[in-house]
Structure 1
Amino acid sequence: MDMLSKIRRAAENDLATLFRAKELMSAPKALKELEQWERLYREIKTPSGGVIYLSDKANESFLRLVETVGANLPSRDFVLSDDIYQACKMELGRMYEQEAPQKTIAPFLTSLEAAMQRKIMMHRFYTTLDGLSLCGVDQMRIGRLNVQTPDLAILESCVANEAMISGTWARMKRGLWISAEITGSRGYAERRFFEDVKAACGLLAVSLTTVLERGGCAVRLTPSMDGRVRPSAATWFSIETLSNELCTSSSMKGFQSITLDASHVEGLQTSEWFSELTKIIQGDSDSDAEHAVRRAIYWFFDAQADTSAEMQLVKFWSCIECFFSFENSGETTSKIKRGLTALLTLGDFGFSSLETWRDLEKEIEALYDLRSRAVHDARHSHVSDSDITKVSKWAAWAILEITGLISKGHDSRVKIKEQTDRLSAMLQKQGDGVKP
């Protein structure tokens, strides 16, 4: 665990501060001087059940020490910052019970690394997915993730009592399952898993939006996760008083399940752009352009999963802004209008025809104005399904076009902007009667 001498000295000074008696508070003193939540925040528990509280200075030293540990721990890429924070508290509690604890940073880091290694293991996560079904095929691979039909045998092979297995099956037998194996602490692995799930669902949503007539209005892929309500989880019903007929409703407006058969699955998995997008969303590249695509896929997932028309429109525009809203010097609308028009008209996929590019440009400006009214003027009920369909398709095809540019070596938004500026100039010449 190599560390610069300057950083080592600072860390050991912080560690020394945490062992000065005057910087530690007893429980009665903490009770008198600190509010309840502040006491809990500064509390250090020892293995035997004792409690010590940090003074203002000691707490500042502790937070700096946690930051230093987080930057130098070998296992830092497989754990959460909270894992490190809690481990530092536990290690300090253990050291407070020692007669002569070592107050140098090396053994402190060694002990923490050992604690982290005990937390790091392989986890296999499963969650449910509504809005999609498979026909004629049991599973579909999306990089390291697997989309499959529910399988009771997987639950029955686990170490658990029968009630837990049957209860889990009752909640998860509907829809599809998404699974992946991730190494790390449980908290880290769970967070990484759901990041992958959102990205995979975003990728599928982009794919479906490009081919469905209603675009993003016809897609709603909803994985079971924190902050997401399954379509079956919130329903209501009514009874016609004359006929006594039961009518049920779902909180998911316009929800439908899209079926992929074996040919659809094979078509996606063999598609060059699908493979490229999978590599981008699951890769660790620091390329500015790939970061932009990952952000766009996140917003696409969030947009298609939303139930508010206004927020769907805003979020689909956020996908597009990932590529065009930078270095604009206050000309965001103009840059988006021209860049998106050029990309959709002269890009490899030819989403729009050359003859109608001016109409497309006007439509882009009008629908971006709807977004601005929602964001800046708090307008609502001014967005139609047709508006969402159009913007979702623009966003989906823009993501595909940008992916194509990345595969050709455009690894930054600056390079992408240079290309879209060139295409835009070609369109302007077309408008002036010059053939591009």
Structure 2
Amino acid sequence: MKSYLAVLGFPAAWRFLAPAFLARLPYAMLQLGILLLVQWSTGSYGVAGIAAAAAAVSQALIGPQTGRLADRYGQPKVLIPQVAVHAAALGVLLVLASVHARSALLVTLSALAGASMPQIGSMVRARWAHVLGGSGKLGAAFALESITDELTFTLAPVLLVAISTGFSPVWALLVALVMVVVGTLVFAMVRRGAPEPMPVRVRSQGGVLGLRGVAVLAIAFVALGTVFGSLQVGITSSTAALGQAGAAGPIYATFSGASFVGGLLYGAIHWRTGAPVRMAATIGLLSAATVALTFAGSIPTLYGGAALAGFVIAPAVITGYTLVETLVPAEVRTEAFTWLNGSIGLGIAAGAAVAGQLVDRFGGPWAFLVPPVTTGLAALLILAFLRRLRPETGRSPVRELVTTA
């Protein structure tokens, strides 16, 4: 635990970590919340699915652009107007849903709410990289961030569903709106640890994605996202088919809890093996671990398969964030982190969509074929481009950038 205590002992760390946690809960609530809201308003799961997908895709595509602005102009100058736009978009969406407006309007506002969601997780990682870079503590800090992600994605759906069933989806997203506004504004006002604005222009085709190894990691993170999305569908459909639908929540909580433990242990170890090799190894292990779920024909085996997959996925995510920090200069660090965040979001949406089609056509267990295939291909991709994931010796990535006035 010394590694984590050393990280949390950074002066004023809790001043930005506490409001960041409050703002990150709504991040994990938005997609499911929009699904519940639009279905409640229109009575159609088809429209609700399109609205939730629109929020996820717009968030994945626009998020990195806001990360780029944060790198150039500073986090507060981006977060404050961004959360204002998000509050307006989500507020209008809630009003329109309450009066059962046309589906096209609900989908449009859902996309705008997703696009304007503050990228707090990426900005917290950028702060850790800024204050801990080169100290040897960054791996533990990123492990803490992955653990925080697990907590938010475990707690947020429980909170969302509880308020939605007790009151309505409108009230659930209204609570999320209050949390994201308060948390984001307080986080933006805490300047300690925030990177200084560094206006830059990337001299590479494709921007940050064109920098060494970033696109490879983004594709790998899409594969990691498919694990989350397909497991949600697979666990839900399999438990229902087994006549124990209520077990879906505890089984997915087991997945999250195992990920929490795996990330905690992984981040506490001082690794001598290079991050690129660890990235290939952890994704390969994840592919092997998720194969166990394809044989899960009972509730106990579902628990065991979910725990095994969860234990391995957090180390893969932690390694990816650690790795990208070594490949990009500080000038575009937030944008790079946001590309990885967005890639996971795209993977979740794609994994859920593909798994849903497989379940409809062939049955619940077929959803579990998605993770081993996608992560297996990602592991092969990492191995094929292993050299691209190592910083060039004697060459700083800053040379690929031209600072502009």
Q: TM-score, normalised by structure 1?
A: 0.29
Greater share of residues in strand:
1
Q: TM-score, normalised by structure 2?
A: 0.30
Greater share of residues in helix:
2
Higher relative contact order (CA 8 A, sep 6+): 2
